[in-house]
Structure formats: C-alpha cells, structure tokens
Chain A
Amino acid sequence: MNTERIKHLLAKVEKPGRYTGGEYGELIKDKNTVDVRMAFCFPDTYEIGMSNLGVKILRHCLNSLPYVWCERAYAPWDDMEREMRKEGVPLYALESGDDLKDMDILAFTLQYELAYTNMVNMLDLSGIPMLAADRGEEYPLVIAGGPCAYNPEPVADFVDVFSIGEGEFALCELVALYRECKQLGKTKEQFLREAAKLKGMYVPSLYTVSYKEDGTIAAFTPKYEDVPAVIEKTFLTDMDSAPFPTEHELSFIEAVHDRMVLEVFRGCIRGCRFCQAGMVYRPVREKSPDTLNAQAKALYKSTGYNEISMCSLSISDYSGLGEALEKLLGWTEKERVNLSLPSMRIDSFYAELMEKAMNVRQSGLTFAPEAGTQRLRDVINKNISEDEIMAGCAAAFDGGRSSLKLYFMNGLPTETNDDIRGIAGLAQRIVDLYYSKKRSKGKGGVSVTISVSCFVPKPFTPFQWMPQDRIDELKRKQLLLKECITTRKISYNYHDSEVSFLEAVFARGDRRLSAAIAEAVRRGQRFDSWDEFFDYGKWMQIFEDTGIDPEFYANRTMGFDEILPWDHIDCGVTKEFLIREAKAAIAERTTPDCRTRCSACGMQDKGCTVCKKGGKE
C-alpha cells in the first residue's frame, strides 16, 4: 500500500511495520477486475492475527475465486488508534490501503470473547456504524465466524451474517451469492433473506427473541417462514482434499507464531466435558501422513521458515503420528528444520514417541490433567489416571528433561477443597518422582510449573448449564492452592478471575449484551484480553448503566428445559447427548473416547466416520 497519507502517524507509533503491508508473499490483485472487495478483519494485534491458521485458510479459499480480492486488517494498537482518530484516518486494508468502509464485505473472525470490543471498535474506527440496523446500503456487509460464532448472540446486533462451522466452502458460497445479488441490483435486505437459506448462515436480524419475567428466553422465532429455525454448522468431510495454503504472507515483524503451521486433524476423540472445541469440531477428521508431508515440504519451499509446528487439539491421538514424524524427520533434519509438537496428552506419551521427540523440539513439556484428583477428573471426563501421569513424567525425566508445566482449572463443577489440595499434591509427587530417580540429580533440579485457569462454562459443552464460581470463591481457591504449595520447585500461576468472569458473561450471553458491548466501545474499552486494558470496574459500571446483571449469565445454573441463547445453532452434537453427559458428570461417571466406543453424540447421522470405522454403538 501507499503509506504517504499515514507517514506522520507511523513516525509516532511502536512497531510501524504492523500497519504498512508489503510483506513477502502479499497478494495484490487488480481492483478493477474483481467484483467483490473484501477484508478479513482480525480483532486483535497484527502479530496475533498474522499467526492465525484459520484466517490463512479462509483467505486462501476466497482469493482463489478470481472475482474476489480478500485483503487483511487488524486492530491497531492504541497508540496508532489515537493517531488515526486525531488525524481522521479511518481503518484501511493492508494490501491496497483502501478504507474498510469502501469494501463490499468485512469478515471478522471471533476467536475469543474478549475480542468483541475490538471487533466493534474496528467498525467504529472505519467510520462504519456499529449496529447492523444503522448500516444502509452504502456500508459493507459485516460477516463473522470462528469458534465464538457458536454462540453469536452477544454480538448479534453488530453482524449481518454469521457463518457457523467451518467456512472453507460456505463462505465462498455466501460471497458468490453476494456477487449475484449485487449484479442483479438487489438490496441488502433481499440478499440477507437469500443468505439465510444457505447452510451454515445465520442472519440474526431475521429472528425475534422474547423473554420471560425471570430473564430467560421465552421464544426465539424466525420472522419469516422461509428462514430456518435452526442453523446447522457446515464442516469438511475430507481433510486430504481440504483447501490448504502452502503460500502466504510472511510477517516482516515477528509474529506470535513465526513458523510453519501444519494442521494435522480437526476434532478430538476425547470428550472432556468443559471443552467446547472437543464438542463443536466433531467428528475427528485426519490428514494422511503423506498429505502432511507434502504440505510441509511445499510450505518450507515457499516460506523458508526453519520450524514446523504440528497443530491439532490432542496431537498424540493422531493415528498417523509415528508415520508422519518419520516422513518429516526424513528431510527436516537434513534441512535443519525443527519440528515442534504442542502440548501432549500425558497418557499417550509413550517412551517410543519420547525417543522420536528427542529429535523434535517441544515448546516445553506441557501436560493438562486439568484436575487434581481422580474423582474430579472423572467428573470432567479427563480419562487419565495418576499412574499414567506419573508414567509420562517418568518417561520425560528419563529422557533428560527436568522442567514441565501442568495445566489445571479452578472452579470446575463439584470441585471441593480436596480437589484443590490435590493439585498441589500431584505436583509434589511429580517433584518427588524426579528426586527418586538416581540419574536426575542435575544442576538446578526439577521445576514444575502449575498454571491454573478459571473454569468458564461454554456453550455446547455438557457443562453449559453449570455456573461459574463467583469471583470471591475463585480467589479463595487460588489462595488455598498457594498455601498448599510448600516447595520452590513448584511455581504457580493463575488466571485473573475477573477476566474469566467477563469471559463467562459473554460466553453464555444473549442478545441483550450487545448494548453493553456497544457502550463499552463508546467508553473506550478494547483489547480486553490484554492486562493493560482490561478494566473490571469499568465493565461493572457499564453493565449497571445498561441494565444488565452479569451474574445472570456467569453464575447461574441454567435449566435443562430452558431455551438457551444458542439453541437455534446446531453444532452437530445434540442437546440430549449433552444432558446425558452432564448427568454422567454429576454421577462421576466417565465416557469413553470415540475410538473406544461411539456415544451417539449426534454426529453419527451427520457424517461421522469414526463410529463406522472402529467404534461400536
């Protein structure tokens, strides 16, 4: 882009390279030969957004349509925003430098709830009315997708169309429809009616919600007969043929993940009951080792990165892991390319893999038992025993490692003080295990880090009905755990309970929250996931002033028979299954993984191949 008009601004901000485009691999099209101008908007910093694989995949799909040019935009850091507002420069797309308000379509990806204010602020900074209802024909269409779109309601007032599920093909269909409507001179309203009929597309303005006196939802109804009452997610069935960009822009300034990212599979065979990803991305769909290897080679050629990171939900469940590692290590070592694996499930952390993994750089050894006692692990369906954890740690220590990180959660349903103490006890036994081994008396000794987040009930999980602990209670538990740790070999860090509270409000929120988000943006709230910007007091004031009781969303036990704000979204798993799982949790009963036995989650009729292959109903 031509940066002439912003050169005075760039001179005053940190990391100006965030705002100029021009990276290697940047995709420039002739704007006069395309019919649809789009910008993919990432509501967080450039460095985070540039690292997002989902965005790369979707832009690749869109840009492979010859009539579309889909550029990039990110949330400017506050120093740049200040300058832009002062100088009257609206937000622009990085490739062309053209204003976002002149685009046809802005596509936002919603990766986490705390980015909602950023999305709305980006609209405002573009000179575009925040509320969909206030946007006439002259403004771009605003669409959104990503994990948070499974409960789109808190941001329903800002977005014209949500894409539910995996958007590779669905988005292209939507854009094709847009182009057709544009060429036929149809209005936005006409287009939206048509869009609502596409699979996976949710147009919030075409539904009305009424509420009961107690604040719960009385009815959620389509305004017209041809608008579907339930919106089914779209998803890919074959990962080997799935679109995957083997070329993309390379951030000049250091991105958060400055490396090749290989998506190994989607979905997860486990059904941890707090985990939204494990539910909404069902069923498991794997890439073959050959596909992975070919994609890795192509990526290496086009990027020159010296690190490959294999990314998936629970990587050690990948059935082709051994073969894939073998194929990759066959050339990466010679080329001096490092392989890195994300956090592993401790139970499948076999010695054999450990051996291979020695040639594989791991971003530290991390395990996620999530709960400190077997009882609570059964409740959350983390099917892993203490013996397995210990065996995994023993293998790691034998392999010469002396530091590892364990992830836990506070505030899980049914959690007691014993469960909290259990976290410290488990960490202590791991430390003891280290010192019980003769050879592991190296300098420095062992270091076990326990990182504890706060449970946030998420839509489409068996725990979606369960309350989050109140902030005081979470703080008490955090302190209790601190007191239980008696050695400096264990370092302990925990998440801010106030941040998690806000997350819970939005996670289980309904449409009425849009008013609070709009007000928050007007009052300057943004980058809520950043410590330097998060302001609990301000948010509480905003809720009060907009007549919203945040505890209604975060701390309430919702009823199995209640209409939940996201009930009109069909993510594949059925409510019956989630209720079954919720009841099993209370009964401290575990459910086997998909490969061991199919639990008929709802996907069995919708294209799951796992149950047909091995699992038996």
Chain B
Amino acid sequence: MQPPVKYTLRIFWQKKGNSKYVSHLDTQRAVVRALIRSGLPLYYSQGFNPHPKLVFALPVSIFQEALYDVFDIDITERISPKRAAEMLGAVMPGDTPVIGAAYPVKKFKELYAASYLISLDTDLKAAEVEKALRGEVVVEKKSKKKCEMTDISPMIYGVSAVDTDRGVILKATLSAAPDAYLNPKYLVDFLGDKVRFSETVREMLFDKEMQPLK
C-alpha cells in the first residue's frame, strides 16, 4: 500500500491557567488524544507502532504559561486551516485553547527569540532588577552534559521592568534559537533569594526578523 500524501499543518495554541502545572510529556499525550478526538485526517507514522506526528516548536517548562505556542501535525488532506483550528479547538482541554492554524511559513529552526512577562514577588525595585540584568549575568547553567558557570548576557536581548504594588514585572526578550535557548528561569535564579516567588508567561515566539513565528 502506498503511504498517503502528507501535509504539515501548524497549530497555534496557548498553555495557560492550570495547564502550566502539566509537564511537557503529559501535555504531548493530551494533545495526541485531542488530535484523535478532533477527527482531523491525521497522518500516521508507518511501521509497527503507528502514531500521529506531533512536533512542538519550543515547549515551555512546567510552571510557565505560553500565550503563543506552536506545534506541527501531519495530515493527509489539505483542509482549510480555519476548519482544522475549529475541529481541534473543540476538543482541546480548557486551559490549552487553539488560537489558530496555518500552513507553515517558517521552519522551527528559524526560531530566534521569545518574549516573557515575569512577575516577581520581591522587595527589589524595577530599576535594580534592570540594572542587574543588563550587566554580566553569570549563572550556573545546565547544558546537555555539564553544569557550569556561564555568562548568559549575550542571550538576553532586552529587559525592562516596572514596579507594581506587589513587586516587579519584568519584561524580557531572550534567545530561543535551537542551539541557544535560554530558559527564563535563569533570570529569576540570578536575582536570587530576594525574589520570593515568580510567575512566568511566555508571550511570543519570534523568527530571525523578529516577526511572530508563522
């Protein structure tokens, strides 16, 4: 039997509210189930244990929310993205809504940066936070094999902060390139014990032209 033709479709969605307490692996499983429920003409991998194709652009870590998240799926018919978004949106868990669909323009490897909104429960002032993060930012950074002190400032493309009655809201644009992803938690780590609690929302994913990843 001829394997069916396949088209890659890009789904834009959000991971917010209580779904931030769900790990990426568990999220993946939930999305696969939603794909099956949706009735979309899924393309299954060939072979012994066929499964639908699902690739995430850049999963957020557990405890982080994402307002613009992206995954690609493979389908066997070139159906209208609007229709696909409706079909999948109808069966996604409540805190992970679908916000759109499109046939991909860019490849995931063209991902360049991500912007974040980080609420800090702290006595630090916005100016102090900005100052700290605009200099050298040396943190203990984990990479694949080792854990070493690294200056992450080259991966910080911009920070700004404002004071609120509860602490500071930090806006940050960080590298999200496939080979240089900077998890926003390092910024919070760097600020140290003075931050009692933090909540992170990833607002946008950008390509090299600093346009939303499409």
Interfacial residues, chain A to chain B (CB-CB below 8 A):
1, 3, 7-8, 10-11, 16-17, 19-24, 26, 250, 252-254, 258, 301-306, 336
In-complex Cβ contact of A24 among B32, B34, B35, B62 (8 A): B34
Structural contact, B17 and A250, CB atoms closer than 8 A: no
Q: State A8–B121 Cα separation when bound (angstroms).
A: 11
* Chain B proximity of A249: nearest CB distance (Å): 10
Interfacial residues, chain B to chain A (CB-CB below 8 A):
17-19, 21-23, 26-27, 29-30, 32-37, 44, 50, 62-63, 91-95, 197, 199
Q: Can you list 30 A-B pairs with a CB-CB distance of less than 8 A?
A: A7-B199, A8-B197, A16-B21, A16-B63, A17-B18, A17-B21, A17-B23, A17-B26, A20-B18, A21-B18, A22-B17, A22-B18, A22-B19, A22-B93, A22-B95, A23-B93, A24-B91, A24-B94, A250-B33, A250-B93, A252-B19, A252-B22, A252-B93, A253-B22, A254-B26, A301-B37, A302-B37, A303-B33, A304-B33, A305-B36
Query: In the complex, what residues of A have CB within 8 A of residue B92's CB?
Result: 24
Query: In the complex, what residues of B have CB within 8 A of residue A23's CB?
Result: 93
* Chain A proximity of B5: nearest CB distance (Å): 19
Given contacts A23-B93, A24-B92, contact A304 B37 (CB under 8 A): yes
Structural contact, B29 and A254, CB atoms closer than 8 A: yes
Most buried by B among A7, A19, A22, A301: A22
Query: Which partner residue on chain A sits nearest B27 by CB separation?
Result: A252
Query: In the complex, what residues of B have CB within 8 A of residue A253's CB?
Result: 22-23, 26
Query: In the complex, what residues of A have CB within 8 A of residue B17's CB?
Result: 22
Query: In the complex, what residues of B have CB within 8 A of residue A258's CB?
Result: 29
Q: State A359–B26 Cα separation when bound (angstroms).
A: 28
Most buried by A among B18, B27, B37: B18
Query: In the complex, what residues of A have CB within 8 A of residue B33's CB?
Result: 24, 250, 303-305
Structural contact, A17 and B63, CB atoms closer than 8 A: no
In-complex Cβ contact of B36 among A11, A17, A22, A306 (8 A): A306
Q: State A8–B93 Cα separation when bound (angstroms).
A: 24
Query: Which partner residue on chain A sits nearest B32 by CB separation?
Result: A304
Structural contact, B36 and A304, CB atoms closer than 8 A: yes
Query: Which partner residue on chain B sits nearest A335 by CB separation?
Result: B36
Closest CB pairs A-B (n = 8): A304-B33, A304-B36, A22-B18, A304-B37, A24-B93, A16-B21, A20-B18, A17-B21
Query: In the complex, what residues of B have CB within 8 A of residue A20's CB?
Result: 18, 21
* Chain A proximity of B116: nearest CB distance (Å): 17
Structural contact, B44 and A17, CB atoms closer than 8 A: no
Q: State A10–B34 Cα separation when bound (angstroms).
A: 26
Q: State A336–B27 Cα separation when bound (angstroms).
A: 21
In-complex Cβ contact of A336 among B34, B44, B95 (8 A): B44
Q: State A398–B124 Cα separation when bound (angstroms).
A: 72
Query: In the complex, what residues of B have CB within 8 A of residue A11's CB?
Result: 63, 197
Q: State A19–B92 Cα separation when bound (angstroms).
A: 20
* Chain B proximity of A364: nearest CB distance (Å): 17
Query: In the complex, what residues of B have CB within 8 A of residue A21's CB?
Result: 18
Known pairs A10-B21, A24-B30, A304-B91. 17 more at Cβ < 8 A?
A22-B17, A22-B93, A22-B94, A24-B93, A24-B94, A252-B19, A252-B26, A252-B27, A252-B30, A252-B93, A253-B23, A253-B26, A301-B37, A303-B37, A304-B35, A304-B36, A306-B36
Q: State A252–B95 Cα separation when bound (angstroms).
A: 11
* Chain A proximity of B168: nearest CB distance (Å): 18
Query: In the complex, what residues of B have CB within 8 A of residue A24's CB?
Result: 30, 33-34, 91-94
Q: State A593–B27 Cα separation when bound (angstroms).
A: 47
